[in-house]
Amino acid sequence: MELEGYLDALASAEPTPGGGSAATLVGALAAALCAMVARITLGAPKHAAVAADAAAVATEADRLRRRFEALRFRDEAAYGAVVAAQALPRADGAQRAVRRAALQRALVEAADAPLEGARLATETFALAARAAELHNANLMSDVDCAVRFARAAFDASVANVEVNHRYLTDPQTIGRQRAELAALGDAARTNERRAAALVAGDG
């Protein structure tokens, strides 16, 4: 889908795409900015000393962007399954039991998808720090934007995990996901601070 078409779909009254899908787009933008910084640096003779590092950043950024792009479709399908489960009949006890089980299965995946978004956003913070370490002063504002987009993608992904926890009934799934979110949050903050310090010239 072209960007204009995607934004039209996002703005529509349809339940998908939604916030989780949009978070993956923001994450992909962050990764794409890191790739741009790396490739411009790679093409600048005065930065020849970091050419190998720049090439590695560009390759990793492309990989991350593709993973964000694939996750967008997974997230949309996951929430679509929730909507479909909610629409199941519930006229009697048997139907309500089938609906309840289907909804819980769908909610697990609807939480797992944005959890993967938080993982990818955490990797993007680390990638942005590596892009900043190329020390291309002309592109530090782009690295700064990548860091901020990564933060938006991370926070939005976390929000989408947590909203599904309101309706999940399996405490083990909720506990596992919350524990991973806490660990990801620590790693994300560490890499975010590192990247921000480099952008500010303190690294």
pLDDT band at 203, cuts 50/70/90? low
Q: Is the pLDDT of residue 1 over 60?
A: no
Amino acid at 53: D
Mean pLDDT for 135-140 is: 95
Tokens representing 122 are: 């955490």
Got the DSSP string for 85-97?
A: HHTS--SSHHHHH
Amino acid at 17: P
Mean pLDDT for 108-129 is: 97
- pLDDT (tens digit per residue) in 24-45: 999 999 999 999 999 999 999 9
What is the pTM for the complete model shown?
0.95
Whole-angstrom distance, CA of residue 107 vs CA of residue 157 = 15
- Name the residue among 118, 143, 119 with its Cα closest to residue 203: 143
Q: Residue holding tokens 């291309």?
A: 136
CA 28 to mean position of chain CA atoms: 8
- pLDDT (tens digit per residue) in 181-197: 999 999 999 999 999 99
- Name the residue among 158, 159, 62 with its Cα closest to residue 118: 158
* Domains with residue ranges and CATH for the chain: 16-199 (1.20.120.680)
Q: Is the C-alpha dihedral spanning 116, 118, 120, 126 positive or negative?
A: negative
- pLDDT (tens digit per residue) in 157-181: 999 999 999 999 999 999 999 999 9
Contact 118, 161 (CB under 8 A): yes
- Give the pLDDT of residue 202: 72
Exposed/middle/buried for residue 104 (C-beta within 10 Å: 0-12, 13-18, 19+)? middle
Whole-angstrom distance, CA of residue 89 vs CA of residue 98 = 9
Tokens representing 111 are: 């939480």
- pLDDT (tens digit per residue) in 47-76: 999 999 999 999 999 999 999 999 999 999
